[in-house]
């Protein structure tokens, strides 16, 4: 710890962000400070005033880094982004925000659509969210399409250009048919603005606009158009009736946030009030909050929630004062474009709203706690049970499973799936093309894949260590506690030979034979006695099936590309380079066939003559 003492002596009295690391180099905590010198030193002084969580953190700190910023506001923004990137163990964390869906209006398109997406690109589109319930989001989008006849297809629609035949939605009057040249951009754009107002909660403005347009259409004797607008008004009013559960005298936009803390996790209940009406609500789980003060939970939640939120209201009601309120208000105000207020109401209507949110949070916590118990029995509980059956001294928290897929020995591929604490970790999944094996030899294919995976992992670990980086930063550098092979004793022996041959003696290697669902372990002729209905066996089956699914999907995608490639090979003038470009751009023969001459010609490496040849050949 001498190097830490030296670093503490030289800390600057300056705003910035500090990053705590453990003995593996992994980031375990990120914080901000007005004075790095004062704040970081507090961790290493007497632990008498530290919470149990901070004491546990300090025990694991083996190094720290810091980044200077020009102000506390810059430090807050950097802190938010680093927490989002590293998801440190000891920070108060929302459940992984990658799972949260948004509603997007594709304003980058001539005729925008309204879609559900999980990816936010700041350079295009208009986003609403995030939301926690993907089912409710999809239902909202479907409802919008029924009220507003916007297109749902993914055609490249241009004004005045007819694109193929109209879809069913056009025939049932749920799409204006821009693909048929039936609506100009101005009229369609006006409707998209109405959709945007609806999603922003500006219902009064929307209804006023619709009524004006209805009267205008009636005065112009456009009775069909007036009738459609009348129906649209009625549909919006019907939705607003359902939102009148809460009506306030407050006219400004407002979010109401209340928390209910359990033994391990905390639930946040957010009410969205727009134009005096409650237009929506969300419940979010904040993980591992035991021993954390409420004001710290509130502060962390606000930073994470509004970092990924596309809209900041004028007022945010919270249950308790927070230490860094001033800098958070400055950050939120900058994001909104005008002043934002953080308010702890003591009486009156706003206090009642906060109490109602708190009651909802309490009820949600009870339901979520029960769900968490069931899920933990299925995941963490199953991992513990598996360790007991296998006689392991430590839990196999990280499990990697491998599977081979081929049809009659062609296009052999392999998959690697990863489960941590009994749950899939999709971002660590990997795919392999078999390079050295010809024909359907699953044993040799498995040996090749394991050799490549673990040799690459060991090389990455050496390189990362030499560079002073965390060994978790590589694509293959994390070493599993347990490897699961699909197959019997033969496949197991191959895996053991490869893994031990690389000097990896601490990895438990097992196989799961599909016919009788028997589990084999190294050094034993007979399978391990794991009950057929146990959580441990069900976990292994889920992991094995996931590896099989992932390998099969990869194999299918390669066959599809190969098939597409062979069709394009028959077209005169379309060489290897153009084939690859077309496959990458369009993905399927059907997409190429449905493309216009201009779309094909605009692809890199193509021209009108080559595009004409492709279309003529595919439409024979």
The model's pLDDT over 413-435, given as tens digits with 9 standing for 90+, comes to: 889 999 999 999 998 999 888 88
pLDDT at 276 over 90: no
Q: How far is CA 167 from CA 92, 138, 153, 212, in A?
A: 48, 20, 8, 31
Distance CA 168, CA 154 (A): 14
**Quick one: pLDDT at residue 132?**
63
Distances (CA, A) of 85 to 28, 97, 510: 12, 11, 33
Long-range contacts of 537-540 (CB under 8 A, 24+ apart): 538/378, 538/382, 539/378, 539/379, 539/382, 539/383, 539/386, 539/419, 539/422, 540/386, 540/484, 540/510, 540/512
**How many angstroms separate the CA atoms of 69 and 536, rounded?**
49
Q: 3-class DSSP state for residue 484?
A: strand
Q: What is the pLDDT of residue 97?
A: 52
Burial class (CB in 10 A: 0-12, 13-18, 19+), 557: middle
Q: Give the burial string for 401-435 (b: 16+ CB within 10 Å, else e).
A: bbbbbbeeeebbbbbbbbbbebebeeebbbbbebe
CB 570 within 8 A of CB 509: no
Give the tokens for residue 370: 């029960």
DSSP 3-state of 149: coil
Q: Is the pLDDT of residue 260 over 90?
A: yes
Q: How far apart are CA 316 and CA 306, in angstroms?
A: 11
- Bridge partner residues of 64 (DSSP): 20
Instruction: Report whether 391 contacts 416 (CB < 8 A).
Output: no
The pTM assigned to this predicted structure is 0.58
Among 582, 103, 92, CA closest to 291: 92
Give the model confidence (pLDDT) of 605-620 as tens digits. 888 888 888 887 776 5
Q: How far is residue 413's CA from residue 405's CA, in Å, rounded to a whole number?
A: 5
Q: Which residues contact 111 (CB under 8 A, 6 or more apart)?
A: 151, 157, 159, 178, 183, 185, 188
Q: Over 60: is that where the pLDDT of 408 sits?
A: no
At residue 534, φ and ψ (nearest 5 deg) are: -80, 155
Residue-level length of the chain: 620
Query: What is residue 271's three-state secondary structure?
Result: strand
Identify the pLDDT of residue 161: 76
Rounded to 5 degrees, φ, ψ at 195 are -60, -45
Fold match between domain 254-374 and domain 384-557 = yes
**For the domain bounded by 2-91, which CATH number is listed?**
3.40.1440.10
Q: Confidence class of residue 566 from pLDDT cuts 50, 70 and 90?
A: low
Q: Among 25-39, 526-540, 604-618, name the one with the lowest average pLDDT.
A: 604-618
- The more confidently predicted of residues 126 and 420 is 420
DSSP 548: H
The most confident of 105-109, 249-253, 276-280, 343-347, by mean pLDDT: 343-347
From CA 555, how far away is CA 535, in angstroms rounded? 30
- C-alpha span between 401 and 484 (Å, rounded): 5
- Given this model, what pLDDT does residue 258 score? 96
Structure tokens at 73: 């506001």
What are the distances in angstroms from CA 50 to CA 44, 59, 63, 66, 323?
10, 12, 19, 21, 17
More confident residue, 251 or 547: 547
Nearest of 305, 321, 268, 303 to residue 31 by alpha carbon: 303
Using an 8 Å Cβ cutoff, are 363 and 387 in contact?
no
Record: fold of 384-557: Nucleotidyltransferase; domain 5 (3.30.420)
Mean pLDDT of the chain: 85
Q: What pLDDT, on the 0 to 100 scale, is given for residue 619? A: 67
197-201, 285-289, 472-476: which range is least confident on average?
197-201
Can you identify the CATH homologous superfamily of domain 570-618? 5' to 3' exonuclease, C-terminal subdomain (1.10.150.20)
Q: What percent of the chain has pLDDT over 90?
A: 34
- pLDDT tens per residue, range 64-88: 999 999 889 999 989 988 998 888 9
CATH architecture of 254-374: 2-Layer Sandwich (3.30)
Lowest mean pLDDT among 238-247, 366-375, 484-493: 238-247
Q: What is the mean pLDDT of residues 139-159?
A: 82
- Please determine, for residue 115, whether its predicted confidence score (pLDDT) is greater than 60: yes
- Whether the per-residue pLDDT at 407 is higher than 50: the answer is yes
Q: What are phi and psi of 152, to 5 degrees?
A: -120, -5
Asked if residue 302 has pLDDT above 60, the reply is yes
Burial of 306 per CB tally in 10 Å (0-12, 13-18, 19+)? buried
Please measure the distance between the N-terminal and C-terminal CA atoms of the chain and give it in whole angstroms: 75
Q: DSSP class of residue 480?
A: P
- Per-residue pLDDT, averaged over 29-39, amounts to 92
d(CA 312, CA 327): 15
Could you tell me whether strands 482-486 and 398-407 are parallel, antiparallel, or unpaired per DSSP bridges?
parallel
How large is the average pLDDT for residues 51-69?
A: 89
Give dist(CA 151, CA 509) in Å, integer: 52
Residues 548, 554: Cα–Cα separation, whole Å:
10
Quick one: how many helices (H) and strands (E) in the chain? 20, 19
Reported as a pLDDT band with limits 50, 70 and 90, residue 245 is very low
DSSP output for 381-425: HHHHHHHHHHT-SS---EEEEEEEEEETTEEEEEEEEEEETTEE-
Domain ranges of the chain: 2-91, 99-200, 254-374, 384-557, 570-618
Q: What residues does 7 pair with on adjacent strands? A: none
Closest listed residue to residue 22, CA positions, set 58, 65, 60, 59? 60
CA dist., res. 506 & res. 521, Å (int): 14
The pLDDT value given to residue 257 = 96
Cβ(155)–Cβ(163) under 8 Å?
yes
| pLDDT digit string, tens, across residues 481-508 | 999 999 889 999 999 999 999 999 999 9
Q: Give the rounded distance of the alpha carbon of 104 from its chain centre.
A: 15
pLDDT at res. 244 = 47
Phi, psi of 177 (to 5 degrees): 75, 50
pLDDT > 90? residue 315: yes
Provide mean pLDDT across the span 262-268: 88
């Amino acid at each position: 710890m001498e190097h830490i003492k030296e670093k503490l002596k030289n800390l600057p009295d300056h705003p910035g962000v500090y990053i705590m690391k453990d003995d593996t180099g992994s980031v375990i905590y990120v914080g901000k400070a007005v004075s790095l010198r004062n704040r970081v030193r507090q961790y290493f002084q007497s632990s008498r005033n530290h919470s149990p969580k901070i004491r546990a953190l300090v025990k694991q700190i083996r190094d720290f880094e810091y980044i200077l910023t020009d102000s506390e506001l810059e430090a807050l923004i950097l802190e938010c982004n680093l927490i989002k990137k590293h998801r440190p163990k000891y920070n108060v964390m929302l459940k992984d925000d990658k799972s949260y869906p948004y509603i997007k209006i594709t304003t980058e398109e001539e005729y925008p659509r309204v879609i559900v997406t999980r990816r936010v690109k700041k350079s295009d589109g208009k986003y609403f969210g995030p939301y926690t319930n993907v089912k409710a989001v999809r239902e909202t989008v479907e409802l919008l399409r029924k009220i507003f006849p916007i297109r749902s297809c993914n055609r490249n629609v241009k004004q005045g250009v007819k694109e193929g035949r109209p879809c069913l939605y056009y025939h049932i009057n749920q799409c204006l048919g821009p693909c048929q040249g039936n609506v100009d951009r101005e009229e369609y754009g006006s409707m998209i603005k109405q959709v945007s107002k609806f999603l922003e909660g500006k219902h009064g403005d929307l209804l006023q606009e619709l009524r004006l347009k209805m009267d205008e259409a009636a005065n112009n004797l456009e009775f069909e158009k007036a009738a459609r607008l009348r129906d649209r008004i009625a549909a919006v009013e019907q939705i607003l009736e359902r939102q009148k559960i809460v009506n306030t005298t407050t006219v400004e936009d407002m979010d109401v946030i209340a928390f209910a803390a359990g033994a391990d996790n905390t639930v946040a209940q957010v009410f969205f009030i727009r134009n005096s009406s409650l237009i929506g609500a969300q419940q979010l789980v904040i993980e591992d909050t035991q021993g954390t003060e409420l004001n710290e939970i509130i502060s962390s939640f606000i930073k994470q929630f509004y970092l990924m939120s596309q809209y900041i209201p004028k007022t945010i009601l919270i249950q308790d004062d927070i230490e860094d309120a001033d800098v958070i208000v400055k950050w939120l105000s900058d994001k909104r474009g005008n002043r934002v207020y953080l308010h702890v109401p003591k009486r009156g209507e706003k206090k009642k709203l906060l109490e109602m949110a708190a009651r909802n949070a309490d009820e949600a916590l009870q339901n979520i706690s029960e769900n968490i118990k069931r899920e933990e029995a299925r995941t963490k509980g199953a991992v513990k049970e598996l360790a007991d059956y296998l006689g392991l001294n430590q839990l196999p928290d990280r499990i990697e499973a491998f599977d081979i897929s081929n049809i009659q020995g062609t296009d052999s591929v392999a998959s690697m799936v990863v489960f941590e604490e009994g749950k899939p970790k999709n971002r660590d999944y990997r795919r392999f093309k078999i390079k050295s094996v010809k024909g359907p030899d699953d044993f040799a294919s498995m040996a090749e894949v394991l050799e490549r995976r673990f040799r690459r992992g060991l090389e990455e670990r050496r390189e990362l260590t030499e560079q002073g980086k965390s060994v978790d930063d590589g694509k293959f550098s994390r070493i599993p506690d347990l490897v699961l092979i699909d197959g019997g004793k033969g496949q197991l022996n191959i895996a053991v030979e490869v893994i031990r041959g690389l000097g990896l003696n601490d990895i438990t290697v097992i196989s799961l034979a599909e016919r009788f669902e028997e589990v084999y372990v190294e050094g034993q002729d007979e399978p391990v006695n794991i009950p057929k209905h146990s959580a441990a066996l069900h976990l292994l089956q889920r992991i094995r099936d996931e590896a099989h699914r992932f390998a099969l999907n990869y194999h299918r995608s390669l066959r599809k590309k190969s098939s597409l490639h062979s069709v394009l090979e028959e077209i005169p003038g379309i060489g290897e380079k153009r084939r690859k470009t077309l496959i990458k751009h369009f993905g399927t023969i059907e997409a190429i066939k449905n493309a216009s001459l201009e779309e094909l010609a605009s692809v890199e490496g193509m021209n009108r003559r080559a595009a004409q040849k492709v279309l003529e050949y595919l439409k024979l």
